[in-house]
Amino acid sequence: MRSRARVVVIGAGIMGLATAYNLAKRGVTDVLVVDRGYLCGGASGRNGGGVRAQFSTETNIGLMRESIAICRDFAAEMRINVWFRQGGYLFLARTPDKARALEESVALQNRCGLSTRLLEPWEAQRIVPELSIEGVTRASFNPDDGVVFPWPFVWGYAKAARDLGVEVATFTEVVGFETRGNRITAVKLRPTTLGEVNRHEEVRPAGEVFSVACDEVILCAGAWSPQVAAMVNVALPNHPHRHEICSTEPLKPWLGPLVADLTDGLYFSQSMRGEIVGGVSVDPVPEGIDQQSSSAFLAKYARSLVRAVPRMATVKVLRQWAGCYDLTPDSNPLVGRIAEPENLVLACGFMGHGFMMAPVMGRLLAEHVITQQTSELFARWSLDRYRTGRLLHESMIIG
């Protein structure tokens, strides 16, 4: 591995790889991406692949319009099939406050130029005839939303970045930093093993610590970001929150949109391979990073899914897994440079929608690093907002 890099990216999830690719595309190829595990080992390999512009703030709606456009061209640009399918997102509300939130979001989305429609329950059922609308009071549908298969998206960015000269080092963990004054001068790294990463064997040091000198560090460690930031005495307000998900046996195509119930956090979609992939929120969850599966999730998911689509009662679940959402107090991410150390750039706190945001955020983060300019968006999503109290809440959150 090189002993110095202009930019070190911590985390080879979708955010780190999209940023590295966009840096290299703009000519900054002296980039090292390190990850303590394997590609797709973090949330980027464990998510539902949902991509939507139905949000409740103008910022998120605008960003996601751009991201969807990038998703549409991704296969051709990266020469990899990401199974992008625009079947729309169908949101359901069952309580007066959720219905009101949906109405307000749809009005804003329409002002922003989205073709989202606010629906009566019977209209939702025309889109998904198998749906039970008992208890549903309002729905919304945007036909341009969709789903992708996350793994090839990650692989596509990794390969394209490597082709442009970026070094992507898996099983390489950041264990500390060297600093001088207000700057990071090097990252301290250590090789890891698969057993250690998966915690299948006793955690033990796998190798010697070594240093790579750098000019800039971009923190894309998702739910692990607070623990990495703490190594350089930066306290971040985000925290990990386990989310579980599962996939059924493949069925003949019957479900167009991803269906999301704002009331109990249920969501499900049909992949291009025919499986029904979905999840539901479960409370409480274990503290900290935890990627284990639980039977409580499966029981709640089965109940919620069968309430929404009674015919799902006879379908078998084939696989169950979990990952971590990276939650922030105002449901918006943490991006951009911070005051100290001045060469640390944050790119974390993307909640349960960081996968869909990565295509556009990768571009914006690369621009931020290259130009050293802080755009209005980056000012709004800076860590500093927690000091000034200028928070902007996002309410269209699933799970």
Using the structure block, give the residue that is written with the tokens 């950041």.
174
d(CA 169, CA 176): 17
88 binding ligand FAD? (CB under 6 A): no
Burial class (CB in 10 A: 0-12, 13-18, 19+), 233: exposed
Nearer to ligand FAD, 13 or 341 (CB): 13
Task: Name the segment binding ligand FAD (CB under 6 A); options: 120-128, 310-318, 349-357, 372-380.
Answer: 349-357
A 10 A CB-CB count for 293 gives 15
35 binding ligand FAD? (CB under 6 A): yes
- Contact call for residues 331 and 346 (beta carbons, < 8 A): no
Nearer to ligand FAD, 123 or 178 (CB): 178
Q: Which of 48, 152, 226, 359 binds ligand FAD (CB under 6 A)?
A: 48
Task: Characterize 184-220 residue by residue with b for buried, 16 or more Cβ atoms within 10 angstroms of its Cβ, and e for exposed.
Answer: bebbebbbbbeebbeeeeeeeeeeeeeebebebbbbb
Q: Which of 85, 98, 353, 363 binds ligand FAD (CB under 6 A)?
A: 353
Indicate the helix (H) or strand (E) that contains 62: helix 58-78
Site string for ligand FAD, 297-336 (x = CB under 6 A): --------------------------xxx-----------
Q: Minimum distance between the CB of residue 99 and ligand FAD, rounded to whole angstroms? A: 23
What would the DSSP string read from start to end of 92-126?
A: EE-SHHHHHHHHHHHHHHHHTT---EEE-HHHHHH
Tokens of 318: 């084939």
Site string for ligand FAD, 146-185 (x = CB under 6 A): ---------------------------xx-----------
Q: Which of 7, 24, 31, 34 binds ligand FAD (CB under 6 A)?
A: 34
Contact residues: ligand FAD, CB under 6 A: 10-16, 34-37, 41-44, 46-50, 173-174, 220-224, 228, 243, 245, 279, 323-325, 348, 350, 352-356
